[in-house]
Amino acid sequence: MSEVDRERVMRAVSELIEAIGEDPARPGLLDTPRRVAEAYSEYFSGLGVDARTLLADTVPLDSSADVTGESGPGEIVLLRDIEFRSMCEHHLLPFLGVAHVAYLPGTRVVGLGALPRVVDTIASRPQLQERLTDEIADTLSSGLDARGVLVVLDAQHGCVSARGSRQSGSSTVTMASRGELSDPLRRAEVFALIGGLGGPSGDR
């Protein structure tokens, strides 16, 4: 895990304050460099962290017999409305939203608390929403050896709501699917369980 160089961030923020024509020694700004450095340590805490390690503590999936007496793998595991925040790498402005994460277990499952930790760790880096979606899906697919994975992110971007066109009410929806959940019919099952989505704009 890489550590944010707080002293260096503080110097850079002081220089930035001067560059915009302000006085870093003004009482209201005097402590701003330290506050920004502390915030950046949290925002970028996922740098250098392999999120797959958060999936190491799994338990075997006990196959149960269906009505025909045959055993089979587990059905869909879905965790909805995982709140996340990340930083857009283009403007270093935050984007905030929710993640819906589903997977089809192979031979093992993981505690549900691990899924938000995976999302948070991968989100805590300079990111693009499209890449973030893909990285979460790839981590769950390989880390759990899942038969299928579906990840949907719905987020509002500071670079869209606070600058340029200032579309404060808009959100961006992206999707990444792997394995059996790449099948449109299986994806439709998950969308029905998620509910409230008009359909993802990015299928990656």
Do 98 and 167 reside in the same domain of the chain?
yes
Is there a catalytic annotation at residue 156? no
Judged by average pLDDT, the poorest of 38-47, 107-116, 192-201 is: 192-201
- What is the Cα–Cα distance from 146 to 180, expressed in whole angstroms? 9
Q: In this structure, how many other beta carbons lie within 10 angstroms of the beta carbon of residue 195?
A: 8
Residue 162 counted as domain residue: yes
The pLDDT value given to residue 73: 56
Q: Which of 3, 18, 22, 89 is catalytic?
A: 89
Domain count across the chain: 2
Do 110 and 146 reside in the same domain of the chain?
yes
Residue 113 counted as domain residue: yes
- What is the Cα–Cα distance from 87 to 41, expressed in whole angstroms? 12
Q: Which two tokens stand for residue 156?
A: 């509002």
Contact between 137 and 124 under an 8 Å Cβ cutoff? The reply is: no
Confidence of residue 159 (pLDDT cuts 50, 70, 90): confident
Do 163 and 71 reside in the same domain of the chain?
yes
Residue 25 counted as domain residue: yes
Confidence of residue 170 (pLDDT cuts 50, 70, 90): confident
Question: CATH number for the domain including 29?
Answer: 1.10.286.10
Residue 97 counted as domain residue: yes
Do 135 and 72 reside in the same domain of the chain?
yes
Question: CATH number for the domain including 86?
Answer: 3.30.1130.10
pLDDT at 30 over 80: yes
pLDDT at 197 over 60: no
The pLDDT value given to residue 128: 97
Do 119 and 26 reside in the same domain of the chain?
no
Do 165 and 104 reside in the same domain of the chain?
yes
Percent of the chain with pLDDT strictly greater than 70: 85
The pLDDT value given to residue 190: 94
Do 178 and 87 reside in the same domain of the chain?
yes
Do 72 and 11 reside in the same domain of the chain?
no
> Could you give the angle at which helices 129-144 and 114-123 cross, rounded to 10 degrees?
140
- What is the Cα–Cα distance from 77 to 195, expressed in whole angstroms? 15
- What is the Cα–Cα distance from 138 to 150, expressed in whole angstroms? 10
Is there a catalytic annotation at residue 70? no
Q: Which of 15, 83, 90, 167 is catalytic?
A: 90
Alpha-carbon Rg for the chain in angstroms: 20
Q: Tens of pLDDT along 52-92?
A: 999 999 999 875 434 434 434 568 999 999 999 999 999 99
3-state SS of 108-160? EEECCCHHHHHHHHHHCCEECHHHHHHHHHHHHHHHHCCCEEEEEEEEEEHHH
Do 100 and 188 reside in the same domain of the chain?
yes
Is there a catalytic annotation at residue 100? no
- What is the Cα–Cα distance from 80 to 13, expressed in whole angstroms? 37
Residue 24 counted as domain residue: yes
Is there a catalytic annotation at residue 89? yes
Q: To which H or E segment does residue 173 belong? A: strand 172-179
Mean pLDDT, range 156-169, rounded to an integer: 73
Do 15 and 106 reside in the same domain of the chain?
no
Residue 199 counted as domain residue: no
| pTM (two decimals) | 0.86
Q: Which residues form the domain of 25? A: 6-41
